């Protein structure tokens, strides 16, 4: 009997040693290792958006696959995300190159002397696209005619401090005109939301809409289905001028059939939306977070109408600030070339 007990004890010790050698750990050991949990917050957009669903999925995957990390998603806006990430109040935030340019370079009075110098790039996800359209029966023939010659009424700019206002002003500049010129022709700007702008056009109170959004957009689908719209394309040379004038802007194509009245591919411009972090966040954490994101690329492609745009090959598109060392390590590891911020990063 004693001999059998001795054999069992030896066997138990052997199996215990084997488990340890294979890297196994008891629950007590695992708990000991995770006494210092790293809490991660990912700030995205409005609560009901696909962007929030994307952030929530990333948080779930990080919590599941990165040891000792507990991640959650929260709401925000691009400008507020820039500020909270710069101040380390959030770990990761969603932004875009245009708002990043404004806050990091201090190009407006609000951010002069308060530049968000600590922000670093993680990845690009999906892109927005400028939709230029008029009512289906409008006499307007071209975008050039509308922007340079006509007294456009209620041209939507969202607000005078919005990125939309800035981007549209640069498109006017690409055409050799300005908001001031529009006013002199009897035109007007409207500080309204996308859905309010669509209602204005339906009521005959807006001649042209210039909306930068993900595609397909529910607001544009709405007016496209009734009473219908006609899309205007930006001329190739103007697209290039606008790209040169607007930070992070790239050429994008909307596939024919995206909207009922868009039978052919539509060449336009847009910016990629980016995830950002603070320069002092652990390189290992951001490396693991970046790796987890792209490991589950297909999961993110299934979220929202623009999900299929989330592709590793586009991960660095529109990058206009320095990359975080952790993200840089991941991309270099898989053989991707890291672009330089342009124009040159001032810090």
Q: Name residue, tokens 């308060």.
A: 114
241 and 174 in contact (C-beta within 8 Å)? Answer: yes
Task: Report the Cα 20 to chain-centroid distance in Å.
Answer: 44
Question: What's the pLDDT at 68?
Answer: 97
What domains can you pick out in the chain, each with its CATH number? Answer: 37-126+273-333 (3.40.190.10), 129-271 (3.40.190.10)
Between CA 163 and CA 174, with CA 169 as vertex, the angle to 5 degrees is: 125
Question: What's the pLDDT at 20?
Answer: 36
Question: Virtual CA dihedral for 97, 240, 229, 143, nearest 10 degrees?
Answer: 120
Measured in degrees and rounded to the nearest 5, phi and psi for residue 103 equal -75, -35
Q: Measured between alpha carbons, how far is 201 from 196 in angstroms, rounded to an integer?
A: 9
- Digit-by-digit pLDDT tens for the chain (347 residues) are 434 444 433 333 333 344 333 344 433 344 457 789 999 999 987 665 678 899 999 999 999 999 999 999 999 888 899 999 999 999 999 998 888 888 888 877 888 899 999 999 999 998 889 999 999 999 999 999 999 999 999 999 988 777 788 899 999 999 999 999 999 999 999 999 899 999 999 999 999 999 998 888 889 999 999 999 999 999 999 999 999 998 888 899 999 999 999 999 999 999 999 999 999 999 999 999 999 999 999 999 999 888 999 999 999 988 888 999 999 999 999 999 998 875 555 55
Question: Of 239, 236, 317, 245, which is closest to residue 275 (Cα–Cα)?
Answer: 317
- Strand-pairing partners, residue 325, are none
Question: What's the pLDDT at 51?
Answer: 83
Q: Tell me the CA distances in angstroms from 121 to 30, 94, 124, 133, one per residue in order.
A: 32, 10, 8, 33
- Strand-pairing partners, residue 300, are none
Global model pTM greater than 0.85: no
Question: Of 109, 116, 121, which is closest to residue 330 (Cα–Cα)?
Answer: 121
Question: What's the pLDDT at 48?
Answer: 58
SS3 214: coil
Q: How far apart are the first and last CA of the chain?
A: 77
Question: What's the pLDDT at 7?
Answer: 41
Question: What's the pLDDT at 344?
Answer: 54
What does the chain come to in residues?
347
249 and 242 in contact (C-beta within 8 Å)? Answer: yes
SS3 138: coil
Helix H or strand E segment including 299: helix 297-301
Question: What's the pLDDT at 8?
Answer: 35
Question: What's the pLDDT at 197?
Answer: 95
């Amino acid at each position: 009997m004693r001999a059998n007990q001795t054999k069992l004890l030896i066997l138990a010790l052997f199996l215990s040693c084997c488990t340890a050698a294979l890297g196994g750990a008891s629950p007590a050991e695992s708990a000991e290792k995770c006494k210092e949990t790293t809490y991660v917050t990912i700030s995205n957009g409005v609560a009901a958006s696909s962007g929030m669903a994307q952030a929530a999925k990333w948080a779930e995957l990080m919590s599941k696959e990165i040891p000792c990390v507990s991640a959650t998603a929260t709401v925000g806006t691009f400008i507020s995300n820039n500020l909270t990430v710069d101040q380390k109040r959030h770990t990761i935030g969603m932004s875009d190159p245009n708002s990043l340019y404004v806050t990091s370079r201090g190009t407006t009075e609000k951010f002069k002397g308060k530049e968000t110098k600590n922000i670093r790039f993680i990845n690009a996800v999906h892109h927005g696209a400028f939709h230029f359209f008029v009512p289906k029966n409008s006499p307007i023939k071209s975008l050039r005619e509308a922007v340079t010659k006509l007294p456009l009424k209620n041209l939507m700019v969202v607000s005078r401090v919005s990125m939309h206002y800035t981007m549209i002003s640069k498109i006017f500049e690409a055409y050799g005109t300005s908001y001031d010129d529009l006013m002199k022709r009897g035109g007007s700007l409207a500080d309204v939301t996308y859905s309010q702008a669509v209602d204005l056009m339906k009521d005959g109170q807006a001649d042209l809409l210039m909306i930068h959004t993900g595609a397909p957009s529910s607001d544009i689908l709405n007016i496209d289905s009734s009473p219908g719209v006609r899309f205007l394309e930006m001329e190739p040379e103007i697209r290039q001028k606008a790209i040169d004038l607007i930070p992070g802007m790239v050429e994008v194509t909307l596939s024919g059939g995206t909207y009922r009245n868009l039978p052919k591919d539509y060449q336009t411009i847009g910016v990629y939306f980016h995830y950002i972090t603070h320069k002092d966040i652990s390189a290992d954490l951001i490396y693991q977070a970046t790796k987890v994101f792209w490991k589950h690329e297909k999961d993110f492609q299934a979220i929202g109408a623009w999900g299929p745009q989330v592709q590793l090959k586009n991960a660095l598109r529109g990058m206009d600030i320095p990359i975080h060392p952790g993200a840089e390590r991941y991309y270099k590891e898989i053989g991707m070339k890291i672009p330089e911020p342009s124009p040159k990063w001032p810090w």
